[in-house]
Amino acid sequence: MIKGLISRLKRWYAIPYLLLCIGVSVQSISHLLGDTGFSLSWLGAAVAVVPLVLFMTMVYSRPYSRVVRFIAIPVVMALLGAVLAVIEMRPLPTFYTLFFGVGGVLVYVFWYTYLDRSDNVLLRKGAQLPDFELTSLQGNVVSTSNFLGRQVLWVFFRGNWCPMCQAQLADLANEYEALSERGIEVVLVSPQNRERSAALQSRLGASMQFYVDDNNQAAHKLGIVHRYGVPLGILGYGQDTVLPTVLMTDEAGKLIYVDLTDNFRIRPRADALIEVLDEAWV
């Protein structure tokens, strides 16, 4: 019950918070450029909040680049803005700086991006991958048993709306030839519809296999459903999604690698996965 409430709060947090930050940024810049005179507090509010808005804009406008490395910039700027704001200590801009700037960045880094993931007893190295069904982009239903006899990299991603997922898949696409040379098939699974996955496949260009997990049926069997994981305001994807998950199975369907990240900003890089392959199948 508590976990469900936290998930709902996170669902309601991202887009409304970003819109409020845009409003604060506009107001702060207006005061600095207006005729009311220079103010350290309003400068602090702008320094603390505007970089966060720019960071989020960058994340969503450049989803194929790993812009998550720049999260340190909004953190540093928020702290600098707080110092400027408290020198003059005007009530409203100081509140904006501390609440939306410092507070917002800390909430994003230390609360919002964490997935509150439970211990998964099914997905453990050495265990057999549970059987489940997926739908191909052509509408055919396939089972995990169809992949026996093949080495498979399974990547469960949230959807086209998620910039971190797109950056992860772009990284895999860039290294697809190296993965293919090692005899592994790359299977990408999402609860989004076939049209969206087909569009993403076309943009990425690599011959990776895309499948649809209708109504999160496979995610439920694997214990990787993310309830209320789609932010409020993201339309056409429902409210539940899948927890970002990366698995590798051998020819017998046994798990040789499991990554159950507890932070959606942190995903295994393709070069690290290649190292795992080289160590496992030398």
Nearest to 51 by CA among 63, 35, 67: 67
Domain boundaries, the chain: 2-112, 133-280
Q: How far apart are CA 52 and CA 105, in angstroms?
A: 7
Rg (C-alpha) for the chain, rounded Å, is 22
Pick out the chain residues at pLDDT < 70: 1, 35, 63-70, 281-282
Q: Output the pLDDT for position 281.
A: 62
Q: Output the pLDDT for position 70.
A: 63
Q: Output the pLDDT for position 58.
A: 79
Angle between helical axes of 40-61 and 72-88 (0-180°, round to 10): 160
Helix (H, G, I), strand (E, B) or coil at 255: strand
pTM over 0.75, yes/no: yes
Q: Output the pLDDT for position 282.
A: 54
The DSSP code for 103 is I
The stretches of 176-253 forming alpha helices (DSSP H) are: 176-181, 194-204, 217-222
Cβ distance 221 to 148 under 8 Å? no
Q: Output the pLDDT for position 80.
A: 96
Cβ atoms < 10 Å from Cβ of 35: 5
Q: How far apart are CA 244 and CA 221, in angstroms?
A: 15
| Domain 133-280, second-level architecture | 3-Layer(aba) Sandwich (3.40)
